[in-house]
Amino acid sequence: MTATDKIIKRWKKDFPSLERKTALITGGNRGLGKATAVGLAALGARVVIVSRDAGHGETARGEIAQLTGNERVSMLACDFNSLDNVRQLAQQYKALDWPLHILINNAGIMAFERQLTADGHESNFGINYLAHFLLTQELTGILTASAPARIINVSSSLHHKGRLNLDDLSIEDGYSGLDAYGRSKLAQILQANELARRLASAGVTANSVHPGVVATDLMRSLKGVRGLIMKTFIRRFLRTNEQGADTVVYLAASDKVAGDSGSFWANRRKMRVSNAAADAELAARLWEISLNLTDLPSTA
């Protein structure tokens, strides 16, 4: 029995069937997102993975279906570097006319060099946070119509490094890749907490998760000796994709967390967040700014 077979067996023992559920997972073509898709497909869910590259996405879709024996796995292509592309993704999902019970905002980058998205946003913030903020807003109507539903933001313990200066979202001076990444992960927690408050009476929960330090390709933009050490030596001591996906699958599937909302999780347990991540006023201000940056009407 392979390690993947073993963890699938554990998930099937721990969690109920998801046969009546539909899940959308961004960044589902590799790494944690793909392992999460395998978990949810193995539990019987209808799974839609989102992939930046249609060819890679289609390959992953076939592999997930074959590994789990679940043919109800689909793929939509979207580059989160562009907000227009995210709007198209939401339209494509709406056109399917399927419910949505589980939204997993997982796609992400760790950009060690400062770069901008097509819309001019600092890329960690733009891709990890803002594009997913827009996707979630676009799909909230379907989520509430499908309630009970769950939103899960794949964040990180590195949010503790994040400082969110709402007056300098583009970080024009003193860019540090790790700080910028941490900031985007902080923004994801603030968004989940604000969603939890706003959707409390709608039967939609929102949580964020730290998957652990996992041997994925997330650090591929780390160059030089540090990059080499990470890609060769350190990698073998890290979690596997499936181990990293465990708490994400737990939040998506377990009956134990059915009513939990607005928490940050790791290793299937609630964890403390940074003071900034717990700041409800900051979350509300970020929410309004994000509506503005994504051309959505204010809800103030």
Ligand X SMILES: NC(=O)c1ccc[n+]([C@@H]2O[C@H](COP(=O)([O-])OP(=O)(O)OC[C@H]3O[C@@H](n4cnc5c(N)ncnc54)[C@H](OP(=O)(O)O)[C@@H]3O)[C@@H](O)[C@H]2O)c1
> Which residues form the interface with ligand X (CB under 6 A)?
27, 29-33, 52-53, 56, 78-81, 106-109, 127-128, 154, 156, 210-211, 213-214, 216-218
Q: Which is nearer to ligand X, 46 or 52 (by Cβ)?
A: 52
Q: Which is nearer to ligand X, 154 or 169 (by Cβ)?
A: 154
Catalytic amino acids? 181
DSSP 72-88: -EEEEE--TT-HHHHHH
**Alpha carbon distance 207, 11 (integer Å):** 20
Q: Which is nearer to ligand X, 146 or 222 (by Cβ)?
A: 222
Tokens read off for 166: 């709402």
CB of 48 to ligand X, least distance (A): 14
Q: Say whether 205 sits in a helix, a strand or coil.
A: strand
CB of 133 to ligand X, least distance (A): 14
**Alpha carbon distance 202, 223 (integer Å):** 45
Q: Which is nearer to ligand X, 30 or 61 (by Cβ)?
A: 30
CB of 39 to ligand X, least distance (A): 13
Map 144-195 to HEC letters: HHCCCEEEEEECCHHHHHCCCCCCCCCCCCCCCHHHHHHHHHHHHHHHHHHH
CB of 50 to ligand X, least distance (A): 7
Tokens read off for 259: 């009513």
**β-strands 46-51, 73-77 pairing:** parallel
Q: Which residues partner with 151 through β-bridges?
A: 103, 206
